[in-house]
Structure 1
């Protein structure tokens, strides 16, 4: 499938999605929403894709929502809530539901909803010169696209409130507070994730998310079901045989 607002490439176990509207710093308009949703679905269902990577181009990950794409005459009566439900909410729910590893490579500025989308990925890696900000409050809006859900879980409520005031932070600060996993490029992380057994990773991801809001008994039950499924998988059997051969040597 060909795309107008992004590029998609599959190779060496990775499905790489590149936001490609450099003239507006990869701001997300409705066309990009549609294409990004479709592309994520394509990568999700492709057995050749072990890891999904989302990145930007030309020194920017994404400058967030493309407000300039809204006709001026419609701004006064523009329904932000309706727009969210039709675009970002749908996209973030999909990102959260994908059972493959997802990596946001912040290879440049990530602000507003651009950063929100990165928060919905499993992992975040930022280049040294990347600037990160939730800039909603600076234009009289509240953080959205899942930021209010993911951010407090990643860095705690107090720090999430501070970051939501809109000041940008460096990659070093983002790493210090636990917002990103690494500084630099994601190559090493991607190689590790490609080796992760798919069935076990999917269940591990589900169990960890359940651990945030379910009771201990409920989580233990999720672990039981997940381990039962993983134990029947081909990747477990192959890994076990490999381990036993090593022990015999």
Structure 2
């Protein structure tokens, strides 16, 4: 099954049990305009709550992921407007929450530019595949702003606190070789095949029960707390999962020496 659903600057495409969400304003390097922000959240929410979707792949059109914020929309009134700035963050924050803590694994496939909030999306993803054209950056301070979309939370988890500070304090660009070496990228691939490689990665998730992944994503999103907090969360999650049909299916498949057929129930 393959279905393309264009929604302005976002394209949501189904390929069997995978939802591919594409940032689609390629002539301008897919900037996160108000229009794109408004369309991205419903696309992510629809994918996350659709029981037939197993994995979400996030990518960009035209050989770039995203250049980050739409500079033309940062200050349209000619004077500071903190309330407008706060309103514009709301959909981006919701998008990051869905990427980091939503029930489906998110693979980000990066080509070309991955800057600003785009870097935040990638850092919050479960797996990042980038081709040799990819370049990353967090130049928020160069326009007098702080890192946003949870980057101060997500980037240190990928690259460590000291390096995260350096990347954000300098705003320097990071090419693919360094990005893979420091853990910002999980897999480097040749130019032009990031999306195809992401779709291959999907197969590795199919042998895992969807509700198990959802529970583990929820736990990861709550951060590296204390051991006591982690054990308390297990006390909540494990008894619930033990009552699911997928748990019974996993046990039966193991006993019968066959492949699992999970339904997310």
TM-score by length of 2: 0.85
Q: Match of 1:231?
A: 242
Question: Which residue, out of 215, 219, 224, partners 1:212?
Answer: 224
SS, match of residue 65 in structure 2? strand
Contact 2:101 2:221 (8 Å CA) reproduced: no
Q: Match of 1:52?
A: 56
Contact 2:107 2:127 (8 Å CA) reproduced: yes
Q: Match of 2:257?
A: 246
Question: Which residue, out of 66, 72, 92, partners 1:88?
Answer: 92
Offset of residue 182 of structure 1: 1.1
Q: Deviations over 1:180-214 (max 9, x none)?
A: 2111232332111233211111112223344602x
Q: Match of 2:210?
A: 198
Q: Deviations over 1:25-79 (max 9, x none)?
A: 000111111100010111111111100111001111000010113565x243243
Name the CA distance, whole Å, in 2 between partners of 1:97 and 1:239: 24
Question: Which residue, out of 10, 30, 44, partners 1:40?
Answer: 44
Question: Which residue, out of 104, 116, 119, partners 1:115?
Answer: 119
Offset of residue 125 of structure 1: 1.3
Name the CA distance, whole Å, in 2 between partners of 1:90 and 1:209: 13
CA RMSD, aligned part only? 2.0
SS, match of residue 186 in structure 1? helix
Alignment CA distance shift 1:144-1:217 (3 Å): same
Name the CA distance, whole Å, in 1 between partners of 2:107 and 2:13: 15
SS, match of residue 62 in structure 1? coil
In the alignment, is residue 76 of structure 1 matched against residue 87 of structure 2? Answer: no
Name the CA distance, whole Å, in 2 between partners of 1:244 and 1:142: 53
Alignment CA distance shift 1:126-1:192 (3 Å): same
Q: Where do 5+ consecutive residues of structure 1 fail to align?
A: none
Q: Match of 1:167?
A: 172
Paired residues in the alignment total 245
SS, match of residue 117 in structure 1? helix
SS, match of residue 87 in structure 1? helix
SS, match of residue 257 in structure 2? helix
Name the CA distance, whole Å, in 2 between partners of 1:37 and 1:70: 20
More off after superposition, 35-44 vs 78-87: 78-87
Q: Where do 5+ consecutive residues of structure 2 fail to align?
A: 190-196, 259-265
In the alignment, is residue 126 of structure 1 matched against residue 130 of structure 2? Answer: yes
Alignment CA distance shift 1:188-1:2 (3 Å): closer
Contact 1:137 1:166 (8 Å CA) reproduced: yes
Contact 1:125 1:183 (8 Å CA) reproduced: yes
